[in-house]
Every structure is written in C-alpha cells, then in structure tokens.
Structure 1
Amino acid sequence: MSVFNVLLIALLQGLTELFPVSSLGHAVVLPALLHLHINQHARDFLPFLVVLHVGTLLALLAYFWRVWLGIAWGVLRGRRAGDAENYRRLAGMLVLGTLPAIILGFALEKPLRVLFGEPWVAALFLIVNGGMLLLGERLRRRAVGSAASTTQDEHLDGLRWLDALIIGVWQCLAFIPGLSRSGATMVGGLRRGLNHAQAARFSFLLGAPVITGAAVLEIPKLLHARGAHHAPLGLMLLAGAVAGLTALFSTWFLMRYFRRHEQAALNPFAWYCIGFGALALLLLRA
C-alpha cells in the first residue's frame, strides 16, 4: 500500500473504531469507493488492521488509565485494599464479556475472513447496523418511558454478571464487517438497563481485551508476511500512532456526548450508517 493509503486507513480507523458506525465496515467500503487499489483479500490486510487497532488499544488504556490501574491494584491487593473488591469484580466481568468473542472467533475465523474483502457485504451490514441502533433506542424508550434523566451516571456498580455475559454475546456481531462492535455492545447494554454513558463506558473497556487478543494472534502473521508489497515498519508504526491519537480524541468526544445525551443518543449514528450504506451500495453497483 502507498503512504497515502496507509495513513488514510489509519485516520479512518481512529475516527470510526469507537463511534458506533463500524470501523471495519468503513475500512472495507471506502477503499473500494475511492478506488485506492488495496488488496483486501491479501493475507496481511486483516493483520494490518489489527496493528491500527493496537493504536486504539493504547488510546483506551490512556483515557481509562485510572480504571486499568485500579483493576491491576485490585487484582494484586487483598480484599481489604479499599475499592479492590469492586475493581476485581469489574475485571471478572470484562473477562466474562470477552469469552463469547474468543469462542466464536476461533470457531468461525475462516468463514468470517471471506467477508472482510467484500465491500457490498460491508455496505449492506452498515444499513443493518443503523437499523440495530434505531431498534435498540426504540426498545429502551419503551422500557424506561419518556421521562429518562438528562444527566448520566457512568458508574457500573449495578452491572450484573449475566449482563456482562449478554453484552459480550452482542459484541460477537462485530465479526461481520459493517456491524459495529461499540454499537452492538451499547445496544446490548441499553437492553440490560444501562444508560448511554454506562453502556459506552463498559463497551470501551470491553474493547481492550478483545483488541489485545486479536493483536496477539495477528501481529506475528503480519511480521511474517511483511515484504516488498507491504508498508515499511516505520510507516506501520506511524499509522498506529495516527490511529491511536484520533481514537483518543474520539473516546473523549463520545464519553462527553453520551454523558450529556440520554434521549435517542444513538439515532444520529444510525441514520448516518443507513444513508452511507445505501449510497455505497448504489455506487458499488454502478
């Protein structure tokens, strides 16, 4: 890939990974629409995307550093160490929420890889993603009524073990390009009674172990495949940094947004996905 293509995808990754609009769907559709001549069927395309996800992982670790430090402290310290028990409980829920993705990822890795290079599939599921977000908001409004609070408490003290597992199952939808991991987990969180800020917080925290697992599996493949048709290592590192910085901004913006918006907060992202997905399908068929 050219320098322009690598940095464009890195910027795109950082801007869309945490927004509920599917970064993978955009990474598959946009190159096809812009005729960037990226071989999305190549063995090293998915590992390259994982390198960009590592940049996102570093952004999540940086933004939630107090939480991750608390989890590490809680795991290492005894039960009498202040909030250690709460942090251990949160750590356990993150592990439980990650298990469905690990199991399904191993079981369906090969058939799912076929979808990664099909722009029309990603465009179609972007529309489905928009419908999922709209449905999630509609069902939540029915459950809580129209008098939902406009202020948001993002603490996860009320999250139950079953909630974490079910949200983890929702996360598995993101194996399909066009379906957003953050969108699916947020809808899952809303369906389990969380507000938008809580759902976003747990979704973003849950992204860290998933991205870490993908990186452990795919980066060695990327290093093994690196050759004449692959970006130099320095450019790869620059791309990861670009993705990380833009992801850090995205995290800050979204947490601020979801703290201030409770009514139909996912709707703007839903209509964007539906509109962009429909336009992409028309252009790809033209």
Structure 2
Amino acid sequence: MSVTLLIFLSVLQGVTELFPVSSLGHTLLVPALFGVHLDRHAPALLPFLVALHLGTAIALLVYFRVRWIAIAQGFLGSLRGRPSDNGHLAWGLLVGTIPAGLVGLWLEKPLERLFHDLRIVALALLVNGIVLWLGGRQREDEMHRPAQRLTLVQAALVGLAQVGALIPGFSRSGLTMIAGNRVGLDRKDAAEFSFLLGTPIILAAGVLELPKLLHDHGQLVTAALGGLLTGIAAYLSVRFLMRYFEGRGRLASFGIYCIVAGTLCLGWFALHPLPQ
C-alpha cells in the first residue's frame, strides 16, 4: 500500500467513523470512484480497516477521559452497593453494547460478503441518508432527559440501533443518535451517548481483528501508522461534532449528503463496470 493511499484511507476512516455517514461505506466507495483498486477479497483488507478503529477508540477515550473516569468510578461504586448516576450510566452502556456485539459475532461471515458488492453499499448509504433525514428532524420544544436517566431498556434500544451499522453503508453514530433522540435525549446528549456507547465496540472490533495481521510485520506496521493517523482525524472530528450538536446542528443535513452521495454512486456504478 502506498503512503498516499494509507494517509487517505486513515483520515477518511477517522472522519467518517464518527460523522453519521458510514465509515466502511466511504472506505469502500470513495477509492472505487477515483479509480483506486482495493482488493475487497484480500484476507488482510477487513482486518486492516477494522484495526484502524483502534485509533478512533483511543481518540474517543482521550476526548471523553474525564467522563470515562467518572463512569468507571460509578460502576465500581455500584458493585459495592453505592448507586449513582454515573454508575447507572455505566450499566446502561454495558447493556447497550451487548446487542451489536452478539449479532456481529454471529453474522460475521455473511456480513463480510456484503463488502464485495459496491452497489449494495451505495444503496445502503442512500437508505442511511433517508433514515437520517427523517429521524433527524427533532422538535425544539420536546422535553429531554440526561443520559444518566435512561432506563436500561432504553439504553438497550439505543444499543440495538448499532446492529444496523453492521451493514456497510449504514452509520453507527447516525443510527444511535436517532435512537437516542427517540428515547428522550437532546442532540448533544444523544451524540455524547452515541460516542460513549460506540467506544467499547469499536475498541473490541479492532482488538479482535488485529491478531490477523500479526503474521505480517509489514501489514502490522502499516496498520499501526494508519491507526495513529485515524486517531488524530477522529479526535478533531469528535471535537467538531460535539460543538456542532451543542448548537443547532441537525442529523438531517448529513442525511441529505448521504442521499446525494448514494444516488450518485449508484448512477456511477450503473454506467461503469464494477472493479473486481
């Protein structure tokens, strides 16, 4: 892999993993549109792309470090019989992580086959845009609750939304933000809960795939450098997005982008032969 392609894929991953536009979808579609051939059947491709998630997870841990320390303290306190808001949030995040983790392990091989057809990925990106556009139109006068007040059932429902993002083209952050809005979180809290909820599963995915690269030191070094670049891009992205959703930023804007991008990709692949 050339240095230029490594930088491109790493930065693309770091930005699109947190922006509600699907990181895997963009990583598969954008190179094809520019005539860059990625061997989607190569055994090392998926582990490399998933290993980049480690950079994103570390960036999220660093950005929300104060929050994570409080959550960890609350969790330990709850085990000792001292309930607290942060302890309740810790259990909510734990419960919310389970659905996507179980489904991802169960359907790992069938889901991998979806990566091989870029038309399916483009269609999923288009549908993702429609979902974001419809789900992101939140009324300003709605009553909201903080993430610490979510019930475990509500946290599980938000976590269940992550299952959709196992299909390349659907955005994990976008789906969980919409689900967070629907259970009563405002835009900022829904974004924060989405990023907190995504950190363990993003980290776990990277850790599980990384051993597949250990037999090739060159691939491992490439993945490590890519993870560093991805982490920098992800840290800048989460800073921007938290400020964006603190203001009047809406998911519907990202939905319009995904609709346009997905439609253009489908049109492009209809007129041009798909790379094998």
Question: 1:186–1:199: 8 Å Cα contact kept in structure 2?
Answer: yes
Q: 2:161 aligns with which of 170, 191, 203?
A: 170
* C-alpha separation in 2, matches of 1:47 and 1:40: 11
Give the 5 Å matches for 1:34-113.
Answer: 34-77=34-77, 85-113=84-112
User: Which residue pairs with 1:278 in the alignment?
Assistant: 263
Following superposition, the deviation at residue 148 of structure 1 comes to: 5.1
Question: Structure 1 residues 253, 32: closer, same or farther in 2, change over 3 A?
Answer: same
> Which residue, out of 120, 141, 148, partners 1:147?
141
CA separation in 1, counterparts of 2:127 and 2:80? 47
1:188 equivalent to 2:179? Answer yes
Paired residues of 1:61 and 1:68 also in contact (CA < 8 A) = yes
Q: Give the CA deviation at 1:79.
A: 7.8
Partner of 1:244: 231
Tell me how far apart the structure 1 counterparts of residues 107 and 264 of structure 2 sit (CA, whole Å): 29
Deviation at 1:268, TM superposition (A): 1.1
Matches within 5 A, 1:110-149: 110-138=109-137, 140-141=138-139, 147=141
| Alignment match of 1:256 (pick from 220, 243, 253) | 243
Q: What residue number does 2:274 align with? A: none
Q: Kindly state the Cα deviation for residue 199 of structure 1 after the two structures are TM-superposed.
A: 0.8
- Give distance in 1, aligned partners of 2:76 and 2:150: 22
Task: Give per-residue Cα distances to partners, 1:3-43, cap 9 Å, x unaligned.
Answer: 22121110101111101000110011111111211112211
Q: Residue type matched to 2:266 in 1?
A: L
Could you say what secondary structure the match of 2:84 adopts? helix
Asked if the contact 1:16–1:23 (Cα under 8 Å) also holds between the matched residues in 2, the reply is: yes
State the alpha-carbon separation in 2 of the partners of residues 64 and 87 from structure 1. 14
Runs in 1 of length 4+ with deviation above 6 angstroms? 78-82
Question: How many angstroms apart in 2 are the aligned matches of 1:98 and 1:187?
Answer: 16
Does residue 1:204 correspond to 2:195, yes or no? yes
Asked if 1 retains the 8 angstrom alpha-carbon contact of 2:75 and 2:88, the reply is no
CA distance 1:236–1:79, shift in 2 (3 Å): closer
Asked if the contact 1:52/1:243 (under 8 Å) is kept, the reply is yes
In the other structure, the counterpart of 1:269 is 254
Q: Note the C-alpha offset of 1:88.
A: 1.8
Matched, 1:233 2:227: no
Structure 1: gaps spanning 5 or more residues: none
Q: Deviations over 1:184-206 (max 9, x none)?
A: 10111111121111110110001
Q: Distance in 1 between matches of 2:77 and 2:49?
A: 36
| Percent identity between the two aligned chains | 46
User: How many angstroms apart in 2 are the aligned matches of 1:207 and 1:260?
Assistant: 22
Equivalenced residues, count: 271
SS at match of 1:99: helix
Identify if the C-alpha distance between structure 1 residues 6 and 80 changes in structure 2 by more than 3 Å, giving closer, same or farther: same
Aligned mates of 2:125, 2:78 — CA distance in 1: 46
* 1:76, distance to aligned residue in structure 2 (A): 3.5
Structure 1 residue matching 2:150: 3-state secondary structure: coil
In 2, are the aligned partners of 1:101 and 1:171 still within 8 Å (CA)? yes
2:9 aligned residue = 9
Name whichever of 36-45 and 247-256 sits farther off: 36-45
In the alignment, the residues of structure 1 paired with residue 95 and residue 187 of structure 2 have an alpha-carbon distance, to the nearest angstrom, of: 21
Q: Judging changes above 3 Å, is the alpha-carbon distance between structure 1 residues 236 and 154 closer, same or farther for their aligned structure 2 residues?
A: farther
- Name whichever of 177-186 and 99-108 sits farther off: 99-108
Secondary structure at the counterpart of residue 170 of structure 2? coil
Check the 8 A contact 2:146/2:185 in 1, yes or no: no
How far apart are the structure 2 equivalents of 1:79 and 1:174? Answer: 32
Residues 23 and 78 (structure 1), Cα distance of their counterparts in 2 relative to 1, 3 Å cut: closer
Which letter does structure 1 place at the counterpart of 2:260? G
